[in-house]
Amino acid sequence: MERVITAVESVRGGRKRKVYVNDEWCFSLYPAQLRSHNLEEGMVLTEELYGRICAETLLPQAKKRVLNLLVAKDRSRKELFEKLAGDGYPQEVADAAVEYAESYHYVDDLRFALTYLCSHAEEKSRFQLVAKLKEKGIGREVIDEAFEVFREERIAQMGEAFEEAELTALRRQIARKTKAPAALSQKEIQKLTASLCAKGFRGADIRDVLKDLVSTDIPEMDMEL
């Protein structure tokens, strides 16, 4: 299908112009850039010309935009893509710009997740932390790895005191939630386990502590969020 520039529109409060191809917003350029590529309404946008616009104009701008965004604060890949899309960069240009930043390790979802945990672990539950990281486009495997690395770093800083503090906090939470843990049914144990996992306690620790408290066997199950 022939690609035709159907409109070039100004943006209120902005210097760039939106370029529409076959009635869909394709990219944005400054007036001088439109002139340098000889773009105007009604003309056919050939693959050669489009490729030149992407390589010579849009990609350098997108790379600079990504770096400026990362200087302001650490961001996930998803957040960068959303920013670039909002600025009018085509998908292939956004992909190349983010890959460029990744090649210099400016973008690292694991580092982003760890930074987020360090900043918010004291104020949010594990369930809330996981939900927020997923919202920011962080994959589940990366999230799980971040939690493990975060815990290992805490252990390295505090030693055995950290693990003992975790177990003490876990026992207190169980005591708050049930006055008779020995009488819990399997269903109640599963509900309690899910609640404790949501607060950030490790499944293995929950299982070990409950073994000493309940009168029934603890079922084998995935107790991690």
What is the band of 141 on the pLDDT scale with cuts at 50, 70, 90? very high
What is the band of 223 on the pLDDT scale with cuts at 50, 70, 90? very low
For residue 184, pLDDT over 80 is answered with no
pLDDT for position 121? 82
* Neighbour count for residue 210 (Cβ, 10 Å): 20
As a whole number of angstroms, the distance between CA 8 and CA 70 comes to 30
Type of residue at 160: E
As a dihedral over the C-alpha atoms of residue 50, residue 56, residue 57, residue 63, rounded to 10 degrees, the angle is 120
Residue 160 or 151, more confident? 151
50-107 pLDDT, tens digit per residue, is 999 999 999 999 999 999 999 888 899 999 999 999 999 999 999 999 999 999 888 9
pLDDT for position 221? 46
pLDDT for position 33? 96
Side-by-side strand order, sheet with 5-10: 5-10, 17-21, 24-29
The residues, ordered by sequence, that sit 6+ positions from 203 with a Cβ below 8 Å of its Cβ are 193, 197, 222, 223, 224
pLDDT for position 217? 54
Percent of the chain with pLDDT over 90: 53
24-61 pLDDT, tens digit per residue, is 999 999 999 999 999 999 999 999 999 999 999 999 99
| DSSP H stretches of helix in the chain | 31-36, 47-53, 59-72, 77-86, 91-103, 109-120, 126-135, 140-158, 160-177, 186-198, 203-211
66 within 8 A of 45, measured Cβ to Cβ: no
Q: Write out the H or E segment, with its range, that includes residue 21.
A: strand 17-21
The residues, ordered by sequence, that sit 6+ positions from 196 with a Cβ below 8 Å of its Cβ are 170, 173, 174, 206
What is the band of 196 on the pLDDT scale with cuts at 50, 70, 90? confident
As a whole number of angstroms, the distance between CA 116 and CA 224 comes to 19
pLDDT for position 19? 97
pLDDT for position 58? 97
What is the band of 225 on the pLDDT scale with cuts at 50, 70, 90? very low
pLDDT for position 218? 53
- Residue 94: closest CA among 110, 109, 113, 79: 79
Tokens representing 44 are 């056919």
The residues, ordered by sequence, that sit 6+ positions from 142 with a Cβ below 8 Å of its Cβ are 109, 110, 113
- Residue range 137-161: average pLDDT? 84
